[in-house]
C-alpha cells in the first residue's frame, strides 16, 4: 500500500508543481481528500493576504489531527510499530509501541488532562526528555484540543519562565529528569525554579524517568503514574477526539529572531497536518513498513514535524532516540541503524561533521545495508560532509535529501525528493509543490540578473502561502507581520540568502539577519547580548557569528567590562554561567574578547559588519570605517582578536 499522492518521477513532480501553482486550491483540496475530517473540507480552500497577514486553509473544515495519526490506522495497522524507542544507555531495554498501544496511551493521558481541568485552547508546556511519554503528552494535548508548547530540555529556568509567561500557560508536563549521554538533567527542579513568581500554572504532571529526587508541591504537582492509575481505576478507555477547526492553533513553538525575545510561532491544525504528511511521504519517499529515524529532539520543529506528526499521520514507524550521537561511543547512530534495520536516516550537518572527526572506525562492524534514504536539515551542508555521508554511510547507493525549511514554515519547502528529483551536493534543489520561492534584492525587486555561470543571488522570499505557514506569533500578531511580512511587500521573508542556478535549484547560503545558526540551533545575537548584559560587571556587549568547523557557526562576543576583573578567564567563566542561567548552555559564546570600546556610528549604532569581519579573521578589508565615532577602537579590537 503506498500513498496516492506520492510523486514517483521527475515528470510527476513537474506536473504536480505546475498544478500546484496554476490551481493551488484544487491541488491542496485533492491532497486533503486523503485525510480523516470531522467536517469535510468544502467551499473556499484558501483565504489569504500577506498584508495583515491573514492565512486560512480549509477554514470551514473540522478535524482532530490525532484521529489522523492514530485512529485511522488502527484497523489495518494496529499491530504495526508506531514508535520504536531506543534509550540513552544501549544496555537498557528498548520499547516498541504499536499504533494500538500508542492510541490507548494517548487516550488514557487525554483523560488525565481532562480530569485535571485541561480544556481546549489551554496552553500546556511540555518539558521532557526524549521518551515515549513525550510523544504521548504531545498527542494527548492535541486530542483534547489544548495548545502544546514543547520546550527543549536544554533551556534554562529563566528561558522557561519567559515562555510560560508569554503563552500564559496553565499546565506543565515534565519528568523528574532526563538522560543525555553522560549527563542527567534535573528537569523537575528546573521547572520548580521556572515557577518562582509564576501566576498562571495550576498543575505540574511529573513522569518518572531518572528517579532523581524531586520535591512535589502539594496541590500543584502530580505523578504521571498516579494519574494514569486513577484513570484505570475509573475504567476509562477511549477518549473522543475534540473537534477542531482546521484553523485552530495546534501548537506554539518558541524560536529566536533578531530581537531579544523569542517568539511563539503558531501552527494551525489542518494545514500543518496536510503539509507535514505530504512533505514526509514525498521527500523521504516513505514506503509502508520503512523504519524512519530522525535524530532531532522533539523540542525543535524538526522533531514535531518529522518524528511525530508527519510520520504518524502517514502510519509510519518512527524511531525516538533518547541519547546523543557520541554516547557510549561515536558509533551510536550506526549501531541503532544496524539494530533496527533503519531505512531512512535524517540528521544534521553538524552531527555528520562531528562524527567525521572520529574517522571510519566507529562505522565498521555495523551493517548499514538497510539504509535507503539519507537526509540533512538545519544548516547548509558543506560538500566535504555531503560526500562523506554519501560514501561512508550511504555507501554510494542512498540519495541524500538536503531539506531547507524553518520553524515558521512547519515543513520542508525546498528539497529534492529521494531518488525522484535530482540531487546536487550542498544544494537544497527544488521547491516542493505549492511552494513559490523568489530571490529579491534589498529593495524587494525580483532578481533577474545572473552571473556567467547562470547563478542568481538574493534574499529568499516566498510569494504564496503553503498550508503549514505560521499563522501568527502568539499574543502579538503585529510582531508576526513586522518580522516576516513587512520587509518586502506581498512576500514572506525567510531571513536567508540563497543562490539559484539555471535549472531552478536553490542553494541556501545562510542567514542575512542577526540570527546565528549554531549546530543547527537558531540563536538571536540580541538574545545572547541581553543575557551577557545581565552580568553585573558587563557594561556593553556585541555578539556576532564566525565560521566554525563543526558547529557551522560559533558565537563570538565582544564585551566591555567595568574596572579590573582580575583573572580574565574567571570572568569569562562567570559570564558563561550567566548566559547558561538566562538562556541555556546552547547559547554560550565560544569566544569572549574584552574590549575598551565598540565600533559605533555617530548615531550610536554598533557596526557589526566590522566585528563580524574581525571575528572571521578578516582584519585588512574592513570597508569604510570613516563614519565611526572613534575609528581607533577598531585597531584595539583587531589587536586583541582571539584565534
Chain contacts with ligand WT7 (rule: CB under 6 A): 255, 301-302, 377-380, 402-407, 428, 494-496, 508, 510-511, 517, 520, 522
57 phi, psi to nearest 5 deg: -110, 130
Q: Least Å distance between CB 506 and ligand WT7?
A: 9
User: 608-616 and 632-639 helices cross at what angle (nearest 10)?
Assistant: 30
Does 502 sit behind a cis peptide bond, omega within 30 degrees of 0 on the bond before it? no
Residue 615 beta carbon to ligand WT7: minimum distance, rounded to whole angstroms: 19
Pick 326 or 406: Cβ nearer ligand WT7: 406
Cα 458 from Cα 441, distance rounded (Å): 6
Q: Judged by CB, which is closer to ligand WT7: 162, or 402? A: 402
Closer to ligand WT7 at the Cβ: 228 or 268?
A: 268
Task: Report in angstroms how near the CB of residue 265 gets to ligand WT7 at its nearest.
Answer: 8
The distance of closest approach from Cβ of residue 509 to ligand WT7 in the complex, given in angstroms and rounded to an integer, is 8
* Element at 180 (helix H, strand E): strand 178-180
What is the crossing angle of helices 568-582 and 157-167, to 10°? 30
Of the two residues 403 and 483, which places its CB atom closer to ligand WT7 in the complex?
A: 403
Is the CA virtual torsion 464, 469, 472, 473 positive or negative? negative
Query: Minimal CA–CA distance to 251: which of 522, 520, 476, 468?
Result: 468
Nearest to 132 by CA among 175, 190, 73: 175
Q: How far is the CB of 262 from ligand WT7 (least distance, A)?
A: 11
Minimum distance of ligand WT7 from residue 293's CB (angstroms)? 16
Q: How far is the CB of 153 from ligand WT7 (least distance, A)?
A: 16
- Find residue 547's DSSP bridge partners: 553
Number of H helices, E strands in the chain: 20, 30
Cβ proximity to ligand WT7: between 122 and 496 the closer is 496
Closest of 221, 236, 23, 28 to residue 115, by C-alpha? 236
Decide: 352 and 385 in contact? Cβ < 8 Å.
yes
Residue of this chain nearest to ligand WT7 (CB atom): 407
- Closest CB to ligand WT7 among 87 and 520? 520
Q: Is 408 helix (H, G, I), strand (E, B) or coil?
A: helix
How many Å apart are CA 260 and CA 310, to the nearest integer?
Answer: 31
507, 558 Cβ separation under 8 angstroms = no
**Grid cell 535529501 — which residue?**
401
Beta bridge partners of 438: 461
What's the min distance (Å) between Cβ of 147 and ligand WT7? 19
Within 13 Å of residue 248, how many CA atoms lie on the same side as its CB? 22
Nearer to ligand WT7, 55 or 516 (CB): 516
Task: For the CB of residue 261, give the shortest distance to ligand WT7 in the complex, in Å.
Answer: 16
Would you say 64 or 376 has its CB closer to ligand WT7? 376
Which C-beta is closer to ligand WT7: that of 176 or that of 297? 297
Amino acid at each position: 500500500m503506498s500513498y496516492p499522492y506520492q510523486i514517483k518521477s521527475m515528470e510527476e513532480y513537474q506536473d504536480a508543481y505546475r498544478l500546484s501553482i496554476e490551481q493551488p486550491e484544487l491541488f491542496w483540496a485533492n491532497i486533503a481528500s486523503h485525510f480523516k475530517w470531522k467536517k469535510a473540507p468544502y467551499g473556499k480552500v484558501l483565504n489569504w493576504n500577506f498584508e495583515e497577514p491573514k492565512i486560512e486553509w480549509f477554514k470551514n473544515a473540522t478535524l482532530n489531527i490525532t484521529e489522523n495519526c492514530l485512529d485511522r490506522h488502527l484497523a489495518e495497522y494496529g499491530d504495526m510499530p508506531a514508535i520504536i524507542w531506543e534509550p540513552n544507555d544501549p544496555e537498557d531495554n528498548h520499547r516498541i509501541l504499536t499504533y494500538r498501544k500508542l492510541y490507548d496511551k494517548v487516550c488514557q493521558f487525554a483523560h488525565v488532562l481532562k480530569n485535571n481541568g485541561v480544556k481546549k485552547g489551554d496552553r500546556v508546556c511540555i518539558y521532557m526528555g526524549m521518551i515515549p511519554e513525550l510523544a504521548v503528552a504531545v498527542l494527548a494535548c492535541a486530542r483534547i484540543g489544548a495548545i502544546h508548547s514543547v520546550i527543549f530540555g536544554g533551556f534554562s529556568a529563566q528561558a522557561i519562565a519567559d515562555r510560560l509567561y508569554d503563552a500564559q500557560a496553565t499546565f506543565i508536563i515534565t519528568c523528574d529528569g532526563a538522560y543525555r549521554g553522560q549527563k542527567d538533567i534535573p528537569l523537575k527542579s528546573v521547572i520548580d525554579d521556572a515557577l518562582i513568581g509564576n501566576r498562571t500554572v495550576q498543575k505540574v504532571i511529573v513522569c518518572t524517568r531518572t528517579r532523581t529526587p524531586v520535591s512535589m508541591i502539594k496541590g500543584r504537582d502530580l505523578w504521571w503514574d498516579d494519574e494514569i492509575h486513577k484513570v484505570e481505576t475509573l475504567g476509562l478507555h477511549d477518549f473522543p477526539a475534540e473537534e477542531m477547526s482546521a484553523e485552530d492553533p495546534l501548537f506554539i513553538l518558541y524560536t529566536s529572531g533578531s530581537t531579544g525575545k523569542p517568539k511563539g510561532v503558531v501552527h494551525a491544525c489542518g494545514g500543518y497536518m496536510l503539509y507535514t504528511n505530504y512533505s514526509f511521504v514525498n521527500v523521504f519517499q516513505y514506503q509502508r513498513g520503512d523504519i524512519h529515524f530522525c535524530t532531532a529532539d522533539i523540542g525543535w520543529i524538526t522533531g514535531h514535524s518529522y518524528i511525530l506528526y508527519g510520520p504518524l499521520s502517514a502510519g509510519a514507524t518512527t524511531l525516538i532516540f533518547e541519547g546523543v550521537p557520541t554516547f557510549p561511543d561515536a558509533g551510536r547512530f550506526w549501531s541503532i541503524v544496524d539494530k533496527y534495520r533503519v531505512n531512512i536516516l535524517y540528521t544534521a550537518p553538524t552531527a555528520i561533521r562531528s562524527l567525521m572527526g572520529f574517522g571510519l572506525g566507529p562505522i565498521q562492524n555495523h551493517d548499514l545495508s538497510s539504509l535507503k534514504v539519507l537526509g540533512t536539515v538545519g544548516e547548509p551542508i558543506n560538500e566535504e560532509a555531503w560526500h562523506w555521508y554519501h560514501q561512508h554511510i550511504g555507501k554510494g547507493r542512498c540519495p541524500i535529501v538536503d531539506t531547507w525549511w524553518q520553524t515558521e514554515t512547519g515543513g520542508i519547502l525546498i528539497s529534492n525528493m529521494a531518488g525522484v528529483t535530482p540531487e546536487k551536493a550542498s544544494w537544497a534543489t527544488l521547491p516542493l509543490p505549492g511552494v513559490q520561492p523568489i530571490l529579491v534584492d534589498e529593495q524587494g525587486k525580483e532578481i533577474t540578473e545572473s552571473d556567467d555561470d547562470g547563478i542568481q543571488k538574493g534574499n529568499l522570499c516566498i510569494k504564496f502561502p503553503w498550508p503549514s505557514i505560521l499563522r501568527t506569533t502568539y499574543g502579538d500578531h503585529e510582531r508576526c507581520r513586522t518580522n516576516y511580512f513587512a520587509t518586502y511587500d506581498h512576500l514572506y521573508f525567510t531571513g536567508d540568502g540563497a543562490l539559484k542556478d539555471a535549472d531552478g535549484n536553490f542553494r541556501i547560503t545562510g542567514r542575512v539577519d542577526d540570527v546565528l545558526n549554531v549546530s543547527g540551533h537558531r540563536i538571536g545575537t540580541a538574545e545572547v547580548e541581553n543575557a551577557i548584559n545581565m552580568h553585573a560587571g558587563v557594561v556593553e556587549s556585541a555578539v556576532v557569528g564566525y565560521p566554525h568547523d563543526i558547529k557551522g557557526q560559533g558565537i563570538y562576543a565582544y564585551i566591555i567590562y567595568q574596572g579590573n576583573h582580575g583573572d580574565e578567564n574567571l570572568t569569562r567563566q562567570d559570564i558563561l554561567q550567566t548566559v547558561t542561567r538566562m538562556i541555556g548552555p546552547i547559547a554560550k559564546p565560544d569566544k569572549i574578547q574584552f574590549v575598551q570600546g565598540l565600533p559605533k556610528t555617530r548615531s550610536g549604532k554598533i557596526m557589526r559588519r566590522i566585528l563580524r569581519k574581525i571575528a572571521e579573521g578578516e582584519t585588512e578589508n574592513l570597508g569604510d570605517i570613516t563614519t565611526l565615532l572613534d575609528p581607533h577602537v577598531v585597531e584595539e579590537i583587531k589587536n586583541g582578536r582571539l584565534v
